[in-house]
């Protein structure tokens, strides 16, 4: 398995409005898009950064979650499971791609992401 890049980092927010105000008004991040109180994506100088509502957080994730993009999520999950890494189910997110939540040895949540294949034009 090899990581292609750090695709995104998100903060799980139990009070989305308060946390949103901090990042937008306090830090001045520009909003790229929002899906209600479920997900807000920001322009953070070329890096992916988002807020995730508690109800959207996978497998009870909390705090700050790094998201690593991989080419083959099944192979990545199998490799980590063989190393006794706690691995959650692969979640299909339609045209966005697929994700899987894992935990590092300290118990911190880490998410894997495989981009959806683009349809041929």
- CA-to-CA distance for 71 and 8, rounded, in angstroms? 15
Rg (CA), the chain: 15
- CA-to-CA distance for 73 and 44, rounded, in angstroms? 26
Q: What pLDDT band is residue 106 in, cutting at 50, 70 and 90?
A: confident
What does pTM read for this prediction?
Answer: 0.77
Indicate the SS3 state at residue 49: strand
pLDDT in tens, 48-101: 899 999 888 776 677 888 999 999 999 999 999 998 888 888 999 899 899 999
Enumerate domains of the chain plus CATH numbers. 3-115 (3.10.180.10)
User: Please, what is the end-to-end C-alpha distance for the chain in angstroms?
Assistant: 29
């Amino acid at each position: 398995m090899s990581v292609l890049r750090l695709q995104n980092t998100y903060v799980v927010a139990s009070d989305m409005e308060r946390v949103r105000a901090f990042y937008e008004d306090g830090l001045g991040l520009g909003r790229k898009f929002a899906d209600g109180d479920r997900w807000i994506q920001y322009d953070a100088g070329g890096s992916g950064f988002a807020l995730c509502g508690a109800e959207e957080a996978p497998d009870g994730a909390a705090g700050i979650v790094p998201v690593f993009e991989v080419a083959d999520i099944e192979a990545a999950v199998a490799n980590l499971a063989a190393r006794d890494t706690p691995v959650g189910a692969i979640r299909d997110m339609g045209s966005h791609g697929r994700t899987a939540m894992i935990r590092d040895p300290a118990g911190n949540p880490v998410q894997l992401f495989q981009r959806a294949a683009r349809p041929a034009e």
